[in-house]
Structures are given as C-alpha cells and as structure tokens.
Amino acid sequence: MHPSTALAAVLVDELVRGGVREAVLAPGSRSAPLAYALEAADRAGRLRLHVRVDERSAGFLALGMALASRRPVPVVTTSGTAVANLHPAVLEASHAGVPLVVMSADRPAELRGTGANQTTVQPGLFGTAVRWEADLPAPGPVTDGHWRSLVCRALASATGRPASPAGPVHLNVSFRDPLAPDLGSLDAAPSGRADGGPWTVLGREPGGGHADGGGGVAPGERTVVLLGDLGDHELSRRALGWAAEAGWPVLAEPFGVLPGGTTVVPHGVVVAGRLTAGADALAGLAPDRVLVVGRLTLFRELGALSRRPGVRVEHVSATPWWTDPGSVVHVVHQTRVLDVTPDRAAGADGWVAAWRAAGRDAASVVAGMTGTLTGPGVAVKVAAALAEEDVLVLGSSNGPRDLAIGLGGRPVPGCRVVSNRGLAGIDGTVSTAVGVALAGERGRTVALMGDLTFLHDTNGLLIGPGEPRPDLTVVVVNDDGGGIFSTLEYGEPARSATPEGAARTERLFGTPHGTDLAALCAAHHVPHARAGSLEELRDALAAPADGLRVVEVPLDRAGHRPLRDRLR
C-alpha cells in the first residue's frame, strides 16, 4: 500500500471509530487519497459520503449536518484556494460551537514558498477560528498510532472535550505522489484498537468547563428570563420548564424550540421594547434581576433590558464562553443549574400574570400583521404547518424576527428550530438547510429565509445526480432586496425625504436585484411554486414534500417599517 494511501485509510478509519457518520468531499487531485478512503468507507456502509463541486457550499453542507446531529462532520478539499473557500463556514462553526472538521490536502511542506503550483501556507489559514489544528507531514517513518492520536485530538477538540467549547478544527494533511492507490488496496482494512473503538477515549465533565460563579441560581421575586440560543433544543426545553417552575416570566428568541409554557410572555419582545423606551404604564414590570440563558443574538430590545441601571444580570451558559457584550453580567452559571429549580418566589403568580397581561395587550396589534401577507404573517403560517419532530431552519435577517413577533409565545409542539447564529451571517443558509435535512432521522425540514439569503447560496441547490437528496422545502420571502435595513435607522423616513436621499438609501441598503427565482430554480431542476397569499402558502406547505423544492412569497419592502413602527 502506498504511504499516502495508508495515511488516508488510517485517518478515515479513525474518524469512523470516533463517531463520524457523514462526510463531505469537494473533488481534487491532491485530496485523492482521502477521496478513495472515504468512498471505500461509504461502500462499506461505515459512513455516508456527500460530493459537492463548490467548496464553500460543501463547508456549509457539513456545517448543517454537524449542527443537526451534534456529531463531528469532516469536509475534505484539495490544496490552495479550495481551502480558503471553507473560511465562512469555519467562522460560523467557531462562533456557534459546531463540530466541523476541516481536512485539507496539501503538497509536501518543502514545496511551500518555492512557487510550486497550487501551493500556499495552509497551516494557520483559519487563525483563531479553530479550536485546534495540526499539520501532518507527508507520510514517512511515523507510526500508525500517531496519526490516530491526532484524529482523536481533533474530534475531542471539535466536540468540546474535556472541558472546552465545541467548534471547528483543522487537520492539514500532506501527500506525496503517487496519489492513487494500487487497485488491490482499495478496500484494505487498516489496523487500530482491537475492540474497534477510538485510539484515545476522553471523558466529559457535566455542565462544561468554566468556573461557576455560585452554587446555583438563588430565588428572586422580580426576575425575568431572557432565553437565547443554547445550541441544543433539549437544553431549551429544560430552560423553559425550569423558568416555569420558578415562576419567572420568559422573553424568548425563537431558537432551539419555539417557546411555549406557562410563563412565556406573549410578544415579549414588544413588551421589552416598550418598557425600555420608558412607557409609564409598564413601569411596574421593571425587573430587579435578569437571567440570560444562552446567547442573545436577535433583538436589541432584550439586550437593553439587561442594561437597565440597577439590574442584576446573571448568565447561564452552555459553553465556557459566556456572552456579555455590554459587560453587565454579575454571575455566570453552568447549564447544570437548570436541573435544580429555585424555590418559587412569593408573589410569583402575580408577577408572571402582569407580564403576560402586557403581552396580551400587544396581541391585537400583532394580530393585524399576521392575518395578511406580511413578514410576520408568512412566518406564523410556516410555523403552523410544522408537526411533531419537524425542523425549522431560519435564515438570518427578518425571518427569525418576524417569527418571534408573530408567534408571540404560542408553541409548536416538538418542533426544533436551528439557525446559523454564531455570526448571524446570511451566507451558506441553503447548504446548511440541506445538511440539516439530510441528517434528520424523522419529520420534515422547512427553511424560511429572505431573497438575498437565498441568492447568497444558490449553489446549495447544486446536488449531483448520484448524491443523496434532501426532503426540504425552502420558503423564500422575496422583497427584492435588503428589507431588514428599512426597519433600522437607515430606513428612517427623514433619510429618504428627498429624491437624492431615497436613491442613496435604495442603492446602499435596498440593493434591488430583480432576479427571476423561478428561472434560477429551473436551471437547477428544483421545483418552484409562487404563493401570492397566505392561503396559497398554506396549500403549498400542505402538499407532500418529496425532495428539494422552493416556495417563493413576494412581499413589498415598503411595508416593513410601518409594521414595525406599530409595535413601538
């Protein structure tokens, strides 16, 4: 067996032993040894291989599968610019704590800096975005155990063991010619631990590795819980039950699971916005303590609530990296505190009732938005179509905001919600959704995103004829540009009061494109439907989902800001 063939076979074998069940390959010459080893493992039923011609899309596909399964997923590329195309997915994985394993093929190290073709310095390419990296030299007199040990270290670092946050890792592997295996060695089984297990087994400390600021969360009467992204839908469920037992109102972002429970405040984001804006009628709702559970990434109104003078802020974090952009956190807890419910405070029922009543006061305004073809109306209709064990993938920008505003705390039983909130970018969302759908074991997957998010990753629709295809419905809210900017300060009417100002805003932030999404889908042989009303959207979502399809919902961007202004 050629040295390069042997190295690749050992690496893939150890990946499988370490729990890898899905792998993504972007074809290339230098990565051929890994390609052959992965294909052999696929034929043997040890893992499932997905081949993509675009490295950027491949990275987000692997990210989506790792996000859905919480298992490490390797993505393999050849050398040169191919590796750099993985950077967006690596950054997202880094900030979201997703176990993405980058395996970049390389030329022998002595060729770096010589002008050799397709050769650059690949180690360190991802900087501080990776938890761990190693540069494997072209195979020589190195033992099988050394290679296996490096794979174990990579998987341990990717999954956050023994006591660090999960995230991407980078294994740069150099190969010398010959790169193709002898025909007789294609299925040769490399040696390893006799029991078939990993070379090195690491334990995991419960609750993560950072120091807990106290023994638990103390009881408190005027406490509000801000529920953000925990990266694990079961943790989100635990947090909702924990808050309900303690008698604390919950203001939730729509990640993990769509929030529901006896203490979830309907349209809580609207109530928080009015409270922080100084509404006299809500002064009695001012909390003494804010418990931030998970990572808040969506609403400025929730962050403002934790920055109110005199408020004590405590954070329950799923990783050693707690989130505190305002530098206001007093105490950091591990998620194991969710297993111990504090004593229910005196007056808890009245406190929760007051918050929920304020939420119901906002319901009449929101109801006027969700009954017509608006962003919140579309989001609520999509949520209503989801059943037990379904998964909703949210793009960044308006989609999750519309869902949180429109849903108002009404639960969708069993539904899991995932989104790339590590850096909240709009790129790679289609590929992420494809990965989530392919990794799903039951239920269907529906993605909700805007037109620019969709256009940023149309290569996610590019799936080879022999590749596994997802059952995925992509709902695209098409307002022909950057609709979210009209709801921010850039969309203030005064900035567009003159023809010059209006043209400037439209050019810099509106960014209309006029793309024919139906034609774009047709070019990829992906079924496309257009829903011009909520009823048509409902019917489209009710149709059997067999394979990948796109449902386009056209909206007028000009209506976004007036809708949001009605909530203030």
Task: Give the tens place of pLDDT for each residue, 188-221.
Answer: 667 787 778 887 765 333 333 333 444 568 877 7
Mean pLDDT of 168-192: 76
pLDDT range class, residue 148, cuts 50, 70, 90: confident
Instruction: Return the H-helix or E-strand segment holding 75.
Output: strand 73-77
CB–CB of 51/213 below 8 Å? no
Q: Is 217 exposed, middle or buried (0-12, 13-18, 19+ CB in 10 A)?
A: buried
End-to-end CA distance of the chain: 69
Angle between helix axes 3-17 and 144-158 (nearest 10 degrees) is: 40
Homologous superfamily of 224-364: TPP-binding domain (3.40.50.1220)
Residue-level pLDDT at 524: 96
Residue-level pLDDT at 259: 65
pLDDT at 425 over 90: no
* Residue 472 or residue 188, greater confidence: 472
Residue-level pLDDT at 236: 86
Share of the chain above pLDDT 90, in %: 39
> What is the C-alpha to C-alpha distance for residues 249 and 288, in angstroms, rounded to an integer?
13
Tokens of 128: 């501080």
**Where in the chain do CATH 3.40.50.1220 domains reside?**
224-364
Looking at domain 371-565, which CATH architecture does it have?
3-Layer(aba) Sandwich (3.40)
Angle between helix axes 3-17 and 32-43 (nearest 10 degrees) is: 50
Residue-level pLDDT at 410: 60
pLDDT at 454 over 60: yes
CB neighbours of residue 124 within 10 Å:
12
Neighbour-count burial for 84-96, b at 16+ CB within 10 Å, e otherwise? bbbbbbbbbbbbb
Share of the chain above pLDDT 70, in %: 93
User: How does pLDDT run across 26-38, given as a tens digit for each residue?
Assistant: 998 889 999 999 9
Which of these, 119, 121, 154, lies nearest to 19 by C-alpha position? 154
User: How does pLDDT run across 74-120, given as a tens digit for each residue?
Assistant: 999 999 899 999 999 999 999 999 999 999 999 888 887 777 778 88
pLDDT at 414 over 70: no
> What is the C-alpha to C-alpha distance for residues 541 and 550, in angstroms, rounded to an integer?
10
Tokens of 136: 């494997």
99-103, 332-336, 447-451, 499-503: the lowest-pLDDT one: 332-336
- Which residues are bridge partners to 313 per DSSP? 290, 329
Residue-level pLDDT at 154: 86
**Where in the chain do CATH 3.40.50.970 domains reside?**
3-179, 371-565
User: How does pLDDT run across 489-539, given as a tens digit for each residue?
Assistant: 888 888 888 998 888 888 888 889 999 999 999 999 999 999 999 999 999
pLDDT range class, residue 225, cuts 50, 70, 90: very high
Looking at domain 3-179, which CATH architecture does it have?
3-Layer(aba) Sandwich (3.40)
Instruction: Write down the mean pLDDT value for the chain.
Output: 86
Candidate ranges 116-125, 403-412, 534-543; pick with highest mean pLDDT: 534-543
> What is the C-alpha to C-alpha distance for residues 211 and 484, in angstroms, rounded to an integer?
39
